Each structure stands twice: as C-alpha cells, then as structure tokens.
Amino acid sequence: MSLLQYHPGLPGFDAEYSIVVKRDGILAAGDFSLSVNDSRVKLKDNKVIVPYSVRNEGKNVVVTVKPKNGSSVSITIPSKKWEITFNDDFNGNDLDPTKWSVFEPYLTYGSNPVSYCDPNDCYEVSNGTLKLFIQKKDSVLNGKTYHYKDACISTENKFTQTLGCYVAAMKYQPWSGVCGGFWLLPVFGGKRQSVFFYKNNPDWGCGEVDIIEYASVFGKTYSVTEHFWNVNTGEHVKGEHFWAKPKVDVADGKFHAIGVAITEDASYYYCDGELVGVMEHVYKTTSASGQRRNPVKNFMLFSYRMGPDDDSNWVGRWNFGESDFPLVYEVDWCRAYK
C-alpha cells in the first residue's frame, strides 16, 4: 500500500489522498478493506479525505489495509499544522502601508508596452476587497504617451518569508489580452536571487514563482510557472510550467482560493484545496566547484498587466471594448503560513 502523492494540504481546506493497494505487484481490486485511526477522516473509493480540523491539530492519519487473506499493512499520512504569518482581509478603505506598496512605480510591461503602472491610480480597497484596475486614461511617461494604466502591488520590504504557504482568494473577469497574476519574487540583492534551486542543476536558481496567471483565452485552465536563471551568468534558462485544470472554473465570477505550499523538496499548487500540480526542487545545493548555494526570502505580488492587441500577446487579443473599462481583478483576502 502506498500514497499516490503526498502533499501538505492547503490551510482551511480538507486534504484528499489517493491510496494504491497492490498484491504481488498487481493492483488489488475489492479484496481488501481500509480503516483509519480517526472517525473524522473519510474513506471513499480508495481516497482518504482528511478534514482540516484533523490536520490543524497536527494529528497524523494512519491508514490500514486488511486483505481478505493476509496480514494488515498500515501507512501514515503526516499532518502539516500551518501557522499563519501574514493576513489581509482588505477591510479598510486603502492598502495597509505596513503590508503593501505599489511595486516598481511607473513600471512598463513587455518589449512593446501599451500601459504602465501609475502608483497613484491603480487600485482601490472597498467593500472588503482589493480591486486592481486596468484603465483607459491618457498620460505621458518619459516623453511617451500611454493610453492605458495597469497595476501591480507587493509586500516587498514589508513582508518576506522562505518556504511555507501563500494563498489568496481571487475573482476574475472574462477578459483576454490582460493577465491577472499572483506570484512570488526573491528579495533584491544586487542581482536576481533564488528562492530554491533546480533539482538537476545547482547553478539554476528559481527567481520567480507564478502561482497563477489567468486570461480568459486560457478557458477553464490557468498558467503556473517557475522561472529559473543561471546564477553565474544571470541568463534566464528555463520555465518549468504546467496548465492547472481544477475541478472548478476560476472564471465563474466567484472567489477561489489559489495558492502554493513550498517545502524543501517541492512546490504544491492548489485551487480551493484541490492539488492541481507538483514541481520538485532542492532548497539548498552545492555547485560542481563546491560553492554552497543558499536561497533567500521571497515576497508576494498581485499584478494586472496589459499586453498589445496583436498576436505577440501571449494572453491573447483584446476581447473588451471602451465601455468595459475599468477592467477589474479582485482579491478578497491574502494569507501566508509557515
């Protein structure tokens, strides 16, 4: 008996695990029974559903399989008890300046920018949510006229952490040509630093974790990427990527909790508690020459960026008109745990 995939689970949600039972190397079918050491834990079709109430106690779950003929075998599912380190429910009328600031004011996006981030006009906090805007407004920046403004805020210099869980509840509008993201960046150190390292190359450090990037051109999926740079040359060398396909539709007009739990061995990606993907890595490593590679802390960002209305835009052509502005990317809450 074994777990198909262990994961630490998302705080506040039940965690589901699939059990694989084999007899003489062949999948067993129906000639065994399963039991657990806590009545709150549910068993269904070789799946073990561990309530958050059990996990929050730090109580490990023991699953026992008893064949009709033979001895019982047990495995233990460790319970990760999360401790909250950051929380913002956006219940005020402005960003909490001890937690957030506009990220890189006046930043443009891409090689052919059509918009920029105006730190004085890119967001609103009202009715219990953060709203990031893309707006149609003419303005001049560095001698160039822009017709649009977009948004990006972060916890840089306010909250940083290494490892742990990062999760936010977000709601998307059905627009293409613009991208709503929730991501992590390493703290600045004169050059791009690393939050962990590529499992097969100690010279490749992860300098960006894209927990979600979404545009309606993606349909019911969303993009998850870990970007790696060569720590010696500064060259971007790899983007480890997958398309998350949760059971829910993230563009259904409802808030969905999307996050990542990062351990020393892997990144576990979730949507509403459902595990949607896993990427393995190493936390600390040593180069071929014996140089020790150590990670740094990271901070969180929300961005709502706009690309050009042409085929070069990876999030599609625009599907909105002037009457649709401002476009809104909405966040109900944001939390971090260790």
pLDDT band (50, 70, 90) for residue 111: confident
The answer to whether the CB of 213 falls within 8 A of the CB of 178 is no
pLDDT tens readout for residues 271-286: 999 999 999 999 999 9
> CA-CA distance, 85 to 231, in Å (whole number)?
29
pLDDT of residue 109: 76
The answer to whether the CB of 64 falls within 8 A of the CB of 48 is no
pLDDT band (50, 70, 90) for residue 31: confident
pLDDT of residue 17: 97
pLDDT of residue 28: 62
Burial of 261 (0-12, 13-18, 19+ CB in 10 A): buried
pLDDT of residue 24: 63
State how beta strands 144-154 and 115-117 pair.
Answer: parallel
pLDDT of residue 70: 76
pLDDT of residue 189: 85
pLDDT of residue 15: 98
pLDDT of residue 69: 76
116 pairs with which residues across the strands?
108, 149
Spell out the domain ranges in the chain: 2-77, 84-337
CATH class, 2-77 region: mainly beta
pLDDT band (50, 70, 90) for residue 306: very high
pLDDT band (50, 70, 90) for residue 29: low
> CA-CA distance, 17 to 6, in Å (whole number)?
7
Question: Smallest Cα–Cα separation from 241: which of 256, 264, 222?
Answer: 222
CATH of domain 84-337: 2.60.120.200
Question: Helix, strand, or coil here: 78?
Answer: coil
pLDDT band (50, 70, 90) for residue 330: very high
pLDDT band (50, 70, 90) for residue 256: very high
CA-to-CA dists, residue 2 to 133, 152, 267, angstroms? 47, 43, 21
* Average pLDDT taken over every residue of the chain: 95
pLDDT of residue 30: 64
pLDDT reading at 231 higher than 60: yes
pLDDT of residue 5: 96
> CA-CA distance, 316 to 310, in Å (whole number)?
8
pLDDT of residue 119: 93
> CA-CA distance, 234 to 230, in Å (whole number)?
5
pLDDT tens readout for residues 150-209: 999 999 999 999 999 999 999 999 999 999 999 999 999 888 999 999 999 999 999 999
Question: Smallest Cα–Cα separation from 334: which of 102, 99, 51, 152?
Answer: 99
State how beta strands 164-171 and 327-337 pair.
Answer: antiparallel
pLDDT > 70 fraction of the chain, expressed in percent and rounded: 98
pLDDT of residue 33: 85
The set of long-range contacts for 99-107, using a CB threshold of 8 Å and a minimum separation of 24, is 99/155, 99/158, 99/159, 100/153, 100/154, 100/155, 100/158, 101/153, 101/154, 101/156, 101/157, 101/158, 102/151, 102/152, 102/153, 103/152, 103/153, 103/154, 103/156, 103/301, 103/303, 104/152, 106/141, 107/152
Q: Cα 190 vs. chain centroid, distance in angstroms?
A: 26
2-77 and 84-337 have identical folds? no
Question: Smallest Cα–Cα separation from 8: which of 319, 321, 305, 259?
Answer: 259
Q: Cα 13 vs. chain centroid, distance in angstroms?
A: 15
pLDDT of residue 108: 86
Name the one residue in this structure whose structure tokens are 């990037």: 213
pLDDT of residue 156: 97
The answer to whether the CB of 175 falls within 8 A of the CB of 216 is yes
pLDDT reading at 27 higher than 60: no
> CA-CA distance, 61 to 38, in Å (whole number)?
7
Question: Helix, strand, or coil here: 309?
Answer: coil
pLDDT band (50, 70, 90) for residue 25: low
DSSP string, 236-264: EEEEEEEEE--SS-TTSSS-EEEEEEE-S
pTM of the model: 0.95
The set of long-range contacts for 242-247, using a CB threshold of 8 Å and a minimum separation of 24, is 242/277, 242/279, 243/218, 244/212, 244/269, 244/271, 244/276, 244/277, 245/220, 245/221, 245/276, 246/220, 246/271, 246/272, 246/274, 246/276, 247/274
